[in-house]
Structure 1
């Protein structure tokens, strides 16, 4: 938690560095998790955004200059699956998705080739977009590449429903698939870190709505920890880890992965997270992406920001105002302006007394 009053506003890069290093900083950072909403800023289709490094980077740059948030980045999630042999569909105006099932039976693993992070066209597109962002904004704002944790990648390759059954019936084969997902993801993060970007991790299939805390510790946790260990060993900073749903039963395990920040969904009271693990990790969350950002009005967004600040502004390791999950593509721009504006107004240290 920062208590110093600053005369001049810090750049996002300075602010995040101070937060991570435990030094004073001027205000709470804000991450609206824009993703493909950036396509709406430049007027291109979602498919054009995902299939052109230049357009992707241009859209992220335009969105940053429009909204003034504290993080920019691109995602390698679909690129990793594509590079392992999966098929990805790119609708013109909605989110891309993975079509088909790559591991129909576990013998298929013998035929899967390790991805080549230096040659796959979809991964090269992501890396090129990240390079453009670094060239244009890297001195001012942190740039990141997002990846899935091995558990969620393995579930994607196998099919989530089958994978859930396999946890009970084929544990040894599940671990083989998890190791395959881990090895391929490490190849991507090493390339990303060589570029000079940060890495963020999401693990939606590890949600408490889908698996038990016991299964999380048996299957998801070991591979998330190995991935984070690899990030640190390659010179990267401790990443943010996001898991959807109610994660209360696994907060300690999530912190044990070595993540630097835990991204929490919007149904959770952040003061509970603060009491449980706030002395170990930064808390990131938990603006409602649908009810407030997409369906709500600016005043609903401001109310969410105030609530998050009241609950977590004094977290010992710090707090980032962030969405509880991904931002819907067609979120009204006025709600994103309201988000960033509310953080600027109420998130300055010392905090605005209007909050209380």
Structure 2
């Protein structure tokens, strides 16, 4: 199998991504994947140490770049960090499991009135990420994008209130729901303001806003306005439109997602990239959507390459650009060989000029 680095790139990942977003020529399709857990294991770092140490975050991201030649490095509060800084309790397992919330900050409506906007330099684990981002910018910022990942306001609100109570609020206490969403937005922006001073880019995931959980009408009323305001501020602060990922079949809200101002829509593997290209490809770049479980975890390198070629065939000519990636997060136990295979596919089959015949 061809490993990362066996194909010579003419551009750095930072140059490539800037060209894609600007609509100017670039050498090949970018590949976006975050194999932090795998890099930690290969570098001898216990994955849970990164939850508590900026130095370990940096060590693992440097290992990701060295081992896999990742095309971006990342550190950020993710889905839980802003809610944790505001008062929710997050458990960080030492086993091979993802963090989860054990107690929500807002049990009663009056609890919201007691909350203040968390200081990104003192609350929760936000300071760890800001410190890691500063070091990553110093070490790698000239060659690869340094990115911080945040949850969208709808997901932050759910992580402060609890998903089921918050979804009930949408029906029975709409004024409170909007107040909570505004608090979630402002808390996220407080972190973004400090991250932007470091010079990083931003990615947004808003999985609780999925139409698997809420209707398109509720998305437009409760998720869209706050995402649009968040993205507008990110563009103002960073001079770059963020990416936006929402889990599940987002077909009914593609136009809304594009109208948020996001520069890239990251699409779940339930989505047909060709359909998305036809619907919103003239409005935004697309990213995705190799299957994380069926292909990356359960498949072989040949399966990864085959599916990556299918994704390339459907979306390489998207008018606003295309990035090869997964449909969602990389499973912790996915084989390392499959990670290398995805990068291989981008380097071997995504190089311009692309020959569509090689993608069949």
Q: TM-score range by the shorter chain?
A: over 0.9
Once residues 193 and 156 of structure 2 are traced to their aligned partners in structure 1, the CA distance between those partners, rounded to angstroms, is: 17
Residue in structure 1 matched with residue 83 of structure 2 by the alignment: 81
Once residues 327 and 176 of structure 1 are traced to their aligned partners in structure 2, the CA distance between those partners, rounded to angstroms, is: 34
Note the C-alpha offset of 1:37: 3.7
Residue in structure 1 matched with residue 94 of structure 2 by the alignment: 92
1:111-165 Cα shifts (integer Å, max 9, x gaps)? 1121001222511101111112111111110010000010011011111111111
Residue in structure 2 matched with residue 348 of structure 1 by the alignment: 351
**Helix, strand or coil for the counterpart of 1:305?**
helix
Residue in structure 2 matched with residue 61 of structure 1 by the alignment: 62
Note the C-alpha offset of 1:36: 3.6
**Helix, strand or coil for the counterpart of 1:258?**
coil
Residue in structure 2 matched with residue 302 of structure 1 by the alignment: 305
Residue in structure 2 matched with residue 23 of structure 1 by the alignment: 24
Residue in structure 2 matched with residue 292 of structure 1 by the alignment: 295
Matches within 5 A, 1:134-153: 134-153=137-156
Residue in structure 2 matched with residue 156 of structure 1 by the alignment: 159
Once residues 124 and 178 of structure 2 are traced to their aligned partners in structure 1, the CA distance between those partners, rounded to angstroms, is: 28
Equivalenced residue count is: 350
Q: 1:170 and 2:173 equivalent?
A: yes
TM-score using structure 2 length: 0.95
Matches within 5 A, 1:194-343: 194-343=197-346
Once residues 37 and 172 of structure 1 are traced to their aligned partners in structure 2, the CA distance between those partners, rounded to angstroms, is: 44
Once residues 37 and 258 of structure 1 are traced to their aligned partners in structure 2, the CA distance between those partners, rounded to angstroms, is: 33
Contact kept, 8 Å, 1:242 with 1:263, in 2: the verdict is yes
Once residues 266 and 171 of structure 2 are traced to their aligned partners in structure 1, the CA distance between those partners, rounded to angstroms, is: 28
Once residues 238 and 67 of structure 2 are traced to their aligned partners in structure 1, the CA distance between those partners, rounded to angstroms, is: 32
Note the C-alpha offset of 1:35: 4.2
Once residues 88 and 57 of structure 1 are traced to their aligned partners in structure 2, the CA distance between those partners, rounded to angstroms, is: 22
Note the C-alpha offset of 1:9: 1.7
Note the C-alpha offset of 1:33: 2.8
Once residues 109 and 179 of structure 1 are traced to their aligned partners in structure 2, the CA distance between those partners, rounded to angstroms, is: 11
Residue in structure 2 matched with residue 34 of structure 1 by the alignment: 35
Once residues 37 and 209 of structure 1 are traced to their aligned partners in structure 2, the CA distance between those partners, rounded to angstroms, is: 30
- After superposing the two structures, state which structure 1 stretch, 67-76 or 22-31, moved more: 67-76
Once residues 106 and 42 of structure 1 are traced to their aligned partners in structure 2, the CA distance between those partners, rounded to angstroms, is: 46
- After superposing the two structures, state which structure 1 stretch, 14-23 or 60-69, moved more: 60-69
- After superposing the two structures, state which structure 1 stretch, 111-120 or 342-351, moved more: 111-120
Structure 1 runs, 4 residues or longer, greater than 4 Å off: none
Cα RMSD for the two superposed structures: 1.3
Once residues 24 and 301 of structure 2 are traced to their aligned partners in structure 1, the CA distance between those partners, rounded to angstroms, is: 32
Structure 2 gap ranges (5+): 1-7
- After superposing the two structures, state which structure 1 stretch, 51-60 or 76-85, moved more: 76-85
Once residues 124 and 87 of structure 2 are traced to their aligned partners in structure 1, the CA distance between those partners, rounded to angstroms, is: 12
- After superposing the two structures, state which structure 1 stretch, 250-259 or 30-39, moved more: 30-39
**Helix, strand or coil for the counterpart of 1:315?**
coil
Once residues 354 and 341 of structure 1 are traced to their aligned partners in structure 2, the CA distance between those partners, rounded to angstroms, is: 14
Structure 1 gap ranges (5+): 1-6
Once residues 48 and 100 of structure 1 are traced to their aligned partners in structure 2, the CA distance between those partners, rounded to angstroms, is: 22
Contact kept, 8 Å, 1:35 with 1:74, in 2: the verdict is no
Residue in structure 2 matched with residue 108 of structure 1 by the alignment: 111
Once residues 9 and 158 of structure 2 are traced to their aligned partners in structure 1, the CA distance between those partners, rounded to angstroms, is: 47
Once residues 236 and 52 of structure 1 are traced to their aligned partners in structure 2, the CA distance between those partners, rounded to angstroms, is: 29
Once residues 279 and 187 of structure 1 are traced to their aligned partners in structure 2, the CA distance between those partners, rounded to angstroms, is: 32
TM-score using structure 1 length: 0.96
**Helix, strand or coil for the counterpart of 2:75?**
strand
- After superposing the two structures, state which structure 1 stretch, 74-83 or 19-28, moved more: 74-83
